[in-house]
Amino acid sequence: MEIPRIVLGAARSSAGKTTVSSGLMSAFVKRGLKVQPFKVGPDYIDPSYHSIIAGRHSRNLDTWLTSKEIVPDIFFHASRGADIAVIEGVMGLYDGKDDTGTGSTAEIAKLLTAPVILVVDVRHVGTSVAAEVLGYQKYDLKVNIAGIILNKVGSKKHETMTKKAIERATSIPVLGALPREENIEMDERHLGLIPTHEHKTDQQVSAVTSFIKDHVDLTKIFEIACSAPKLIPPKRSIFSPKKRKDGREIRVGVAFDEAFNFYYWDNIELLETKGCTVIFFSPVNYKSLPPDLDMLYIGGGFPELFTEKLQENVSMRKAIRKAAEDEMPILAECGGLMYLTRSIKDFSGRVYEMVSLISGVTVMSKKLTALGYTSCLLLKDSLLGKKGMRIRGHEFHYSFIDPETLPNDTEYVYQVEIGKGINEKKDGIVVHKTVASYSHTHLACREDLVDELILSAERYAKS
């Protein structure tokens, strides 16, 4: 299967990958191309920008969250009908979970035999940048660094000096040089980029697109993408449609609005391919849950920014609590966990009432409280599987559940083997058939995970 593709990597974090990736995607769209965006690693916010720009849902490629077998499957499934796939990397090119580069941009590039365009920040360096690029080229000869984009160039002289040095030392062509323009960079918040729901995305993307078009050789980059070798599709796909034998519709309510929008889109599609009907609803704006639901999925997001509206929507909070008390299975992750607690104390110390399904109080912190991959051992049977199974995920938040507000008999479904969790290496608070955790889970981390979720919904539907 021929899928033109490129990976946007960088020498280090904050080198400009997101700005360049977003600009390239938008520029290719304006040329009439169908662009399929991807993001390496466990990230929700960059993909939300990608999706708006490309008009196609961006997907995450992560060998830790899923596996080396599943990543190509996700890539093929998402790239159907696309003219080019643009993959934004994570951190530095070779940075991953460990010193072997698990989950790194380089690993994904090799797995998909995709050429890499390396974004290099040259703010504080001249000719010496050639040695840096040469090192990246030589570090792993299986990684095809096919082009360089210079970022933060100080002058035309600076551009010429660094370009000539790199091309002389490495023979890798410099495909663009971006001058120092602070006003076109993506804004940031405490969890990274500002969420697209509250950002003037169109204006900023338009500025970034013009910037990229003026300073980057788009034609050459597309030619490099087309030079990627043919890929062989996997023999079996986790996205193969599956009809329900009993013919009954399983209805899954998914919270999706300005407060809750952190989802791996593959999770949504995996539910759908297994025969579920996904119904989106808004805890902020809807007064009641959609009718006849068999399960709720409340993902992450920024509920701390919408605490007043969430508090005011009393009828929705009561509806979710009643659904839980009626033993409806509910999967809540990070922001969803926070919403299900008794209250959220914001950054200013103000307290807002939430669903009160969980007795604990969420407290916002100005410091990062957890960041990284997670691996959790199931301590008991739950909607996510049987006791003894393991689930991989990631956590990234600026909040904690005050342990003093949690009852001594609080039940947890996870023993956290990698990561922090909610309280003393425990995560996944269990109330009725609800599991609420700080850990975000990609449903492809285990092939049977979606089936376990749907089985819980089926049991509820038959009760």
Give catalytic residue positions.
334
CA dist., res. 135 & res. 295, Å (int): 51
Indicate the helix (H) or strand (E) that contains 462.
helix 449-462
List Cβ neighbours of 264 (8 Å cut-off, separation of 6 or more). Answer: 44, 59, 60, 440, 442, 443
**Which tokens in the block code for residue 19?**
């700005």
Tokens 């508090």 label which residue?
Answer: 311
| Residues 255 and 282: beta-carbon distance below 8 Å | yes
Edge to edge, the sheet with strand 145-153 lists: 59-61, 35-40, 84-88, 5-10, 116-121, 145-153, 174-179
| Residues 86 and 35: beta-carbon distance below 8 Å | yes
Which of 112, 105, 126 minimizes the C-alpha distance to 5? 112
Quick one: residue 419, left, alpha or beta (phi over 0 = left, psi -120 to 50 = alpha)? Answer: left
CA dist., res. 292 & res. 69, Å (int): 36
For the chain, how many residues are written?
463
Which residues are registered as beta bridge partners of 414? 378, 427
CA dist., res. 39 & res. 50, Å (int): 9
Quick one: residue 334, left, alpha or beta (phi over 0 = left, psi -120 to 50 = alpha)? Answer: left
CA dist., res. 122 & res. 301, Å (int): 34
CB atoms within 10 A of CB 182: 6
Which of 371, 300, 301, 369 minimizes the C-alpha distance to 97? 371
CA dist., res. 301 & res. 298, Å (int): 9
φ and ψ at residue 220, rounded to 5 degrees: -65, -40
CA dist., res. 419 & res. 174, Å (int): 40
